[in-house]
């Protein structure tokens, strides 16, 4: 999924909080299952259940104290659950078929589909669900070749694969509905002339990034840029040329920043670049490189272009409005000092 869609995804802020509930709960359930099985515990449960209990507890602690670790904690927890369920199913189908059909562990298989939808980008979630379903089918096929199955097993497997196929199709439908909703949201946050995001989008991400600054103390910087003497460009060469200048500036911004940064058009000839995980000392050299890139920009018949830039680093007490105001003040100070320069707010 496009990173902007992920930012607008309403599930995104919930993933870590949901994991902080599910991981300790999973650890407790693994211990309960281990101790209630008594002597009848099978080799797969004997191996995996203690590992699940310890692993889930450790991952929950890591996620609690290091929120940025979510990028590997959530996939790790998901992979362990998927491996456990596939191992349990493989043990039943290949080594010790259950006389009643399938053991209760098989009922948990849909969990890996829906947890993949919860913890991963939509496209990857669908691919993982298909991989898990095909893996289960191959295990059943090998078990059938070994001649382990009786009518009760075939009936249980038919219901298992029928219901799991329905879950995967339902997951796919949910993904399409969700992405359609997000695409519609994305259109509402797009500047159609330059292809950049618009002011509404800037306010949205500023609010989210400032929450990270306040909660976790992560650095955040903001650049506000304004083309110098742009009114003269429109008056002298016409609005069509002015539009070409704005598009060229947008390309310079997108080509000069990181994937994690966000370039937006605030309105008219004013643009902004949001720089997560960036302190002022790192933002200033980037601002200078962008200023030089605009100075070297050629948009015939305009003889030359320049840009004034204001840069500010977020403080824990900042709101989106106050941070924008400080960067704006630095921008207009650059204008007053002769334009084509970078100032700090």
CA-atom Rg of the chain in angstroms: 27
Catalytic residue status for 269: yes
Within a 10 A sphere around the Cβ of 19, how many other Cβ atoms? Answer: 24
150 backbone dihedrals φ, ψ, rounded to 5°: -110, 175
Distance from C-alpha of 191 to C-alpha of 206, rounded to nearest angstrom: 17
C-alpha dihedral over 61, 62, 65, 66, to 10 degrees? -160
In terms of CATH, what superfamily is 199-344? Reverse transcriptase/Diguanylate cyclase domain (3.30.70.270)
Rounded to 5°, angle at Cα 37 from 25 and 158: 85
Q: Which residues pair with 223 in a beta bridge?
A: 273, 311
The side-by-side arrangement of strands in the sheet containing 262-267 is 262-267, 270-276, 220-227, 307-313, 342-344
pLDDT of residue 3: 42
- CA separation, residue 86 to residues 55, 131, 270, 271 (Å): 18, 11, 55, 51
Write down the pTM of the prediction: 0.58
324 backbone dihedrals φ, ψ, rounded to 5°: -60, -40
Is 109 in contact with 85 (CB distance < 8 Å)? yes
Distance from C-alpha of 191 to C-alpha of 4, rounded to nearest angstrom: 14
Is 264 in contact with 274 (CB distance < 8 Å)? yes
Closest among 44, 139, 124 to 88, alpha carbons compared: 44
Within a 10 A sphere around the Cβ of 162, how many other Cβ atoms? Answer: 10
Tokens of 297: 């920009």
Where along the chain do the CATH 3.30.70.270 domains lie? 199-344
Which is catalytic among the residues 183, 203, 254, 269? 269
User: Under DSSP, is residue 27 helix (H, G, I), strand (E, B) or coil?
Assistant: helix
**Chain centroid to CA 142:** 38
Tell me the pLDDT of the chain (345 aa) as tens digits: 344 434 444 445 567 788 888 889 989 988 888 888 777 778 888 889 899 999 999 999 998 888 778 778 888 888 898 999 999 888 888 888 777 777 777 888 888 888 887 777 777 888 888 899 899 899 888 888 877 777 888 888 888 889 888 888 888 887 778 777 766 666 678 898 999 999 988 988 898 899 889 888 889 999 999 999 999 999 999 999 999 999 999 999 999 999 889 999 999 999 999 999 999 999 999 999 999 999 999 999 999 999 999 999 999 999 999 999 999 999 999 999 999 999 998
Distance from C-alpha of 159 to C-alpha of 136, rounded to nearest angstrom: 13
Q: Which residues contact 185 (CB under 8 A, 6 or more apart)?
A: 8
Q: Which residues contact 314 (CB under 8 A, 6 or more apart)?
A: 209, 210, 213, 219, 220, 221, 222, 323
Within a 10 A sphere around the Cβ of 13, how many other Cβ atoms? Answer: 10
pLDDT of residue 326: 96
């Amino acid at each position: 999924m496009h990173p902007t869609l992920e930012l607008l995804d309403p599930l995104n802020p919930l993933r870590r909080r949901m994991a902080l509930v599910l991981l300790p709960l999973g650890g407790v359930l693994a211990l309960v299952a281990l101790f209630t099985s008594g002597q009848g515990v099978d080799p797969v449960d004997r191996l995996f259940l203690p590992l699940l209990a310890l692993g889930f507890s450790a991952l929950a602690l890591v996620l609690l104290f290091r929120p940025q670790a979510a990028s590997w904690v959530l996939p790790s927890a998901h992979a362990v659950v998927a491996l456990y369920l596939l191992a349990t199913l493989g043990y039943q189908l290949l080594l010790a078929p259950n006389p009643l059909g399938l053991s209760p562990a098989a009922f948990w298989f849909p969990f890996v589909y829906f947890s993949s939808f919860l913890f991963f980008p939509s496209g990857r979630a669908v691919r993982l669900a298909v991989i898990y379903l095909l893996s289960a089918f191959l295990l059943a096929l090998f078990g059938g070749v070994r001649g382990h199955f009786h009518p009760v097993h075939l009936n249980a497997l038919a219901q298992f694969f029928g219901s799991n196929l329905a879950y995967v199709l339902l997951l796919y439908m949910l993904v399409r509905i969700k992405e359609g909703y997000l695409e519609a949201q994305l259109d509402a946050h797009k500047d159609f002339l330059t292809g950049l995001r618009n002011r509404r989008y800037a306010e949205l991400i500023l609010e989210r990034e400032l929450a990270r600054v306040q909660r976790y103390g992560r650095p955040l910087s903001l650049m506000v840029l304004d083309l110098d003497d742009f009114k003269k460009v429109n008056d002298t060469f016409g609005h069509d040329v002015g539009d070409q200048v704005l598009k060229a500036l947008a390309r310079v911004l997108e080509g000069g920043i990181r994937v994690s940064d966000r370039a937006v058009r605030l309105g008219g000839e004013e643009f902004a670049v949001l720089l997560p995980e960036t302190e002022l000392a790192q933002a200033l050299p980037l601002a200078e490189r962008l200023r030089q890139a605009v100075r070297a920009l050629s948009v015939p018949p305009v003889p030359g272009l320049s840009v004034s830039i204001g840069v500010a680093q977020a403080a824990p007490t900042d709101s989106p409005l106050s941070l924008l105001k400080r960067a704006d003040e630095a921008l207009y100070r650059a204008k007053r000092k002769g334009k084509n320069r970078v100032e700090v707010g």
